[in-house]
Amino acid sequence: MGKQIVHVEVIGKDGKKLQGFYSKLFDWAVDTNNPMNYGTFSSDDAGVGGGIASAQPGEPNRVTFYVEVEDLNGYLEKAEGLGGKTIMEPSDVPGGPRLAMFTDPEGNIVGLIQAGDMD
């Protein structure tokens, strides 16, 4: 069986506006009760959990899917061997999962989450 998508993220200039848009559009319960105002929605609402937030300065608007893997470094190396490029080395999110990011050969951003961190 292949690796599963475990998280989806929508990032844009106005995170609060995006949170309201997706909440109203799909009837998702978006929870921003955290210091970063990162709006999370659960898999009960959307089939797969995710987040909606404002972009950091200089960060592009994007939609990213995250795949759960056992070895972040190993999959970054594999992605690079297939023409991808690491854009975020493995790191710990405060109070959250360990993750990394790469771009595919066309420049699309893909996230990796350390297996077991989303349980």
For the chain, the structural domain boundaries read 5-114
CA 58 to chain centre: 17
Among candidate residues 79, 118, 72, the one with its CA nearest the CA of residue 102? 79
In eight-state DSSP terms, residue 27 is T
Say what the pLDDT of residue 46 is: 67
Q: What's domain 5-114's architecture?
A: Roll (3.10)
pTM of model > 0.75: yes
Neighbours of 81 (CB within 10 A): 8
Residues 36-79: pLDDT tens digits?
A: 889 998 877 667 889 999 999 998 899 998 998 999 999 999 99
State the DSSP H helix or E strand holding residue 31, giving kind and residue range, or none if neither: none
Confidence of residue 118 (pLDDT cuts 50, 70, 90): low
For residues 114 and 97, the answer to whether their CB atoms sit within 8 Å is yes
Strands 50-54 and 5-12: parallel
The residues, ordered by sequence, that sit 6+ positions from 56 with a Cβ below 8 Å of its Cβ are none
Residues 81-110: pLDDT tens digits?
A: 998 999 999 999 888 899 999 998 888 899
Residues 17-40: pLDDT tens digits?
A: 999 988 888 788 999 999 888 999
